[in-house]
């Protein structure tokens, strides 16, 4: 259901294909990898999402994107206003579906923020999409990630579409899928003050690469050592959202004795898995912690592998 292949093989996927390309441009060079691979493809329609308040690095990447796709529709997202972001995603994607049915879609999720990605999943699952074996979601994996990725947490909120059912009389069970942002994870835990804490780390054999897997394991051990209310730990796939969703089915208590909140902090693919799990269980909340800054200069490098998921499999599972 998910296929990994070398980044350099991307251009060969488009031979003889007419594609509808949807992407998000950010400060990361990874946000342009799929776009660059499409230069010899027949891109019949192109939509690009970008933050309305953006840095010089993002502006430069957007300029390259516009040069490559002069007729692209550029849609701005207000990252500080989640309701406006969700509405924008819904309006734009609804119009795209009405125009094309999303046949032969190539949706690059590499640089959507986790909150946006979860909203995107919720929107896609509400739309009447044409079934197409050629429509796919792509994610370009990271190579090296910086020592620090983001700054201080400025707000903590439920993701639009994943509010869950929160009862004041019930204790909180917080499930954290630990990634590479130690302070972000700690801020979430300390803000929610859960009675029960469940910590997940990436399964080494299912990591994006061995170095990132080992680093994630170090973060997990350090975070685990700081809390005495850890009821359970588990491992999940950083590559396969379907496997991640199934693992959450196994470890998350759904007996109505607690308010369950899931905090996905690992890869975008595992974040999709958290979204799939919460879609099956509307009583579960998914949270997002916004931050004041990102380490734009050193955030990540382009990895060696790209991952493809069939759109039908994701929205109909």
> Which single residue is written with the structure tokens 């296929």?
3
Torsions phi, psi of 63, nearest 5?
A: -60, -40
Q: What's the order of all strands across the beta sheet hosting 259-264?
A: 153-158, 285-291, 259-264, 172-177, 196-202, 230-236
pLDDT tens-digit readout, 49-90: 999 999 999 999 999 999 999 999 999 999 999 999 999 999
CB 277 within 8 Å of CB 242: no
- The Cα 167–Cα 241 span in angstroms is 28
Distance of CA 96 to the CA centre of its chain: 21
Task: Give the three-state DSSP class for 38.
Answer: coil
Beta bridge partners of 145: 300
Tell which phi-psi region holds residue 81, choosing left (phi > 0), alpha (psi between -120 and 50) or beta.
Answer: beta
CB 46 within 8 Å of CB 73: yes
pLDDT score recorded for residue 133: 66
- The Cα 139–Cα 137 span in angstroms is 7
CB 238 within 8 Å of CB 209: no
Q: Is 52 exposed, middle or buried (0-12, 13-18, 19+ CB in 10 A)?
A: middle
pLDDT score recorded for residue 130: 64
Fill in the DSSP letter of residue 226.
Answer: T
Beta bridge partners of 158: 287
Torsions phi, psi of 295, nearest 5?
A: -80, 75
Fill in the DSSP letter of residue 53.
Answer: S
- The Cα 271–Cα 265 span in angstroms is 7
Cα angle value 266/271/276 (rounded, 5°): 150
pLDDT score recorded for residue 132: 64
Task: Please give the model's pTM, rounded to 2 decimal places.
Answer: 0.95
User: Which residues of the chain fall short of a pLDDT of 50?
Assistant: none
Gyration radius of the chain over CA positions: 19
Domains of the chain in sequence order: 2-145+298-316 (3.40.50.11700), 153-291 (3.40.50)
């Amino acid at each position: 259901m998910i296929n990994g292949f070398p980044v350099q093989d991307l251009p060969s996927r488009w031979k003889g294909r007419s594609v509808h390309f949807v992407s998000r441009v950010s400060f990361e060079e990874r946000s342009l990898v799929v776009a660059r691979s499409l230069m010899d493809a027949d891109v019949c329609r192109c939509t690009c999402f970008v933050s309305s308040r953006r840095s010089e690095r993002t502006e430069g990447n957007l300029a390259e994107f516009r040069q490559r796709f002069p007729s692209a529709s550029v849609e701005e997202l207000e990252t500080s206003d989640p309701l406006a972001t969700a509405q924008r995603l819904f309006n734009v994607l609804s119009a795209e579906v009405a125009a094309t049915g999303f046949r032969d879609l190539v949706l690059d999720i590499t640089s959507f923020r986790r909150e946006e990605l979860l909203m995107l999943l919720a929107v896609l699952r509400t739309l009447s999409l044409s079934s197409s074996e050629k429509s796919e979601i792509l994610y370009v994996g990271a190579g090296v990630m910086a020592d620090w990725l983001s700054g201080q947490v400025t707000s903590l909120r439920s993701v639009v579409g994943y509010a869950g059912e929160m009862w004041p009389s019930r204790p909180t069970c917080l499930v954290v899928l630990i990634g590479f942002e130690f302070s972000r994870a700690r801020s979430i835990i300390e803000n929610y003050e859960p009675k029960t804490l469940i910590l997940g780390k990436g399964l080494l054999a299912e990591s994006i690469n061995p170095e990132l897997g080992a680093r994630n394991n170090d973060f997990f051990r350090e975070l685990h050592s700081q809390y005495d209310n850890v009821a359970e730990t588990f491992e999940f796939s950083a590559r396969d959202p379907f496997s991640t969703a199934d693992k959450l089915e196994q470890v998350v208590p759904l007996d109505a004795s607690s308010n369950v909140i899931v905090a996905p902090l690992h890869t975008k693919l595992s974040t999709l898995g958290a979204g799939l799990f919460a879609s099956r269980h509307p009583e579960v909340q998914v949270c997002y912690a916004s931050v004041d800054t990102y380490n734009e200069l050193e955030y990540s490098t382009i990895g060696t592998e790209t991952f493809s998921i069939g759109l039908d499999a994701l929205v109909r599972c």
